[in-house]
Amino acid sequence: MKKFIPIIASSIAIASFSAAVKAEDMSNDSGLYVGGNYGYLKVDSEDDFDDNNDVVQGIVGYRFNSFLALEGSYIDFGKYGGSLANASTTGYTAALKGTLPITQTTELFVKAGQLWHDTDYEVASIKGSSDDKSLFAGAGVNFKVTENLLLNAQYTWYDVDLNADNVDSDSKFETDFNQASVGAEYRF
């Protein structure tokens, strides 16, 4: 999957650029936007970190046209795990977002990018912290409430690994974060 994300992102960029060139007037569809998401997080792991949790995300982005945007966010994955092993993760993202308007009020979107994350963990009473970067990809749908306000539903997959070096020199916990969320976006 990691090898396909750059290919998907490149394909979105090329398709968006091609569509933008054919469009008559995209100047009204560009600009800054802000938003937020709240949702459900499923942490999949072969270790003791499997859990379900709430996730909160704040977003800021810039739309180049109706089809292509650059988006950044701060995300709090919360605390997950059990009594033997638990962790909490926060991070920042940068993504390329491709949007396909379906009707006047509905848009489909896909995004792919990079997550820089910090994790505080405790494994068998040994505490530590780790910072790393991971790839992610997602898809969703926007519904226009007004010309500037949109509601959305989306699913995002993050390939997060936790390095617990102070527990054991080979302690690398393979985890996937699966986020299903709803949110709002305001376009200026």
Phi-psi region of 31 (alpha: psi -120 to 50; beta: other; left: phi over 0): left
The domain ranges of the chain are 4-187
Structure tokens at 77: 């994955």
**4-187 CATH:** 2.40.160.20
pLDDT at residue 22 in the model: 45
Single-letter amino acid, residue 54: D
Q: Where are the alpha helices (DSSP H) in the chain?
A: 4-22
| CB of 125 closer than 8 Å to CB of 111 | no
Mean pLDDT (10-residue bins), the chain, 188 residues = 59 54 53 95 70 89 96 92 82 96 94 94 82 93 95 94 61 78 96
pLDDT at residue 187 in the model: 94
Residues in the chain: 188
**Could you tell me the pTM of the whole model?**
0.77
Distance CA 163, CA 120 (A): 11
pLDDT at residue 23 in the model: 44
Nearest residue to 154 (alpha-carbon basis) of 140, 142, 136, 137:
140
| CB of 3 closer than 8 Å to CB of 137 | no
Distance CA 65, CA 18 (A): 12
Distance CA 4, CA 13 (A): 14
**Taking the CA atoms of the chain, what radius of gyration do you get in angstroms?**
18
Angle at 4 (CA atoms; ends 164, 43), nearest 5 degrees: 40
